Amino acid sequence: MINFKTSKPLSQYLSRQRAAGKRIGFVPTMGALHPGHLSLIDLAKAENRVCVCSIFINPTQFNNENDFLHYPVTVEKDIQELLKRGCHALFLPNHSEIYPEGFQARYYELGALENILEGHFRPGHFQGVCQVVDRLLEIIEPDDIFLGQKDFQQCLVIDHLLTITGRRIQTHIAIAPTVREPGGLAMSSRNTRLNENEFQTAKAISEALYYIKDHALLQPVAELELQAMKYLSGKGLSVDYVTIADAGTLAKTTTLNKPAIALIAVTVGKVRLIDNMLLN
Ligand code: AMP
């Protein structure tokens, strides 16, 4: 694996790979890698692609300074994991490489997606996500970008970003299933901040999602949401939302006759966690 800290040698390397007939598969991350991230590396490597992973903890997507300051950093371990997995290139930029002096943040028109669910609870978050992903796409120009369903709203936002920036001509988006702990908890870098008790309690998130999925045809949508909410609160979790929404737009839905998704955000101890499950 070749490590790049700056964009110019990375671009040159990728040009040579393209000239040799390779496609470029890109996996953006904020590090503290776990098997969920590594499943994306496997996909990006498949089908004769060169796999580029980026690790950059993007300050502009954190609306909560405490969350940013406590975000786990495990770069040496991450490098070992990527090596073991056979990743071809790591992009590990510093702040000024992504946001050089004079960098002008543009405003991304994201429509309703910007202010609902995660957008509502984390104002400015998706503008920050678009800023960093747009910049990374500008540098890497991948053929395929690999994202996790775990951050479903982010997937829709980045899909929209490809449209509004015209990058869809170049880059295809692929969404991979959520990788879970044996007890069902969605893997997340933030899970490392949970103590044993909190880790056990956090299993209630996926239990609530499975409850909704299992009862989706048996109870009205509002009742499913209410039961899941009660279950999570009963376990001592602080619930931001339990929502069943249209899987294409994330608009709230009251019927399940179109593809729908259940989404949950809670805080366990000091750690905010999200998860979701497609229902039909
Ligand atoms: P992050 O480092 O949290 O920004 O995540 C980087 C990428 O990994 C994003 O596309 C996430 O959706 C994806 N990801 C995070 N957790 C998981 C998981 N448990 N399973 C699959 N993909 C994941």
Q: Is the pLDDT of residue 280 over 90?
A: no
Residue 188 Cβ inside 6 Å of ligand 1? The answer reads yes
pLDDT tens per residue across span 206-263: 999 999 999 999 999 999 999 999 999 999 999 999 999 999 999 999 999 999 999 9
Residues noted as catalytic: 37
Residue 179 has a pLDDT of 98
Q: What is the DSSP string of 195-222?
A: -HHHHHHTHHHHHHHHHHHHHTTTS-HH
Residue 37 Cβ inside 6 Å of ligand 1? The answer reads yes
The rounded distance, in Å, linking the Cα atoms of 142 and 126 is 21
SS3 107: coil
Distance, C-alpha 185 to centroid of its chain = 15
Residue 41 has a pLDDT of 98
- Residue with CA nearest ligand 1 atom 5: 29
β-partners of residue 263 are 243, 276
- The model carries a pTM of 0.98
pLDDT tens per residue across span 1-50: 999 999 999 999 999 999 999 999 999 999 999 999 999 999 999 999 99
Phi-psi region at 146: left, alpha or beta (left = phi > 0; alpha = psi -120 to 50): beta
- Residue with CA nearest ligand 1 atom 17: 36
**Distance from Cα 36 to the centre of ligand 1, integer Å:** 6
Residue 7 has a pLDDT of 98
Q: Which of 150, 175, 193, 278 to mutate to test the pocket of ligand 1 (most atoms within 8 A of CB)?
A: 150
147: buried, middle or exposed (CB in 10 Å: 19+, 13-18, 0-12)?
buried
pLDDT tens per residue across span 70-89: 999 999 999 999 999 999 99
**Distance from Cα 57 to the centre of ligand 1, integer Å:** 13
Residue 214 has a pLDDT of 97
Residue 87 Cβ inside 6 Å of ligand 1? The answer reads no
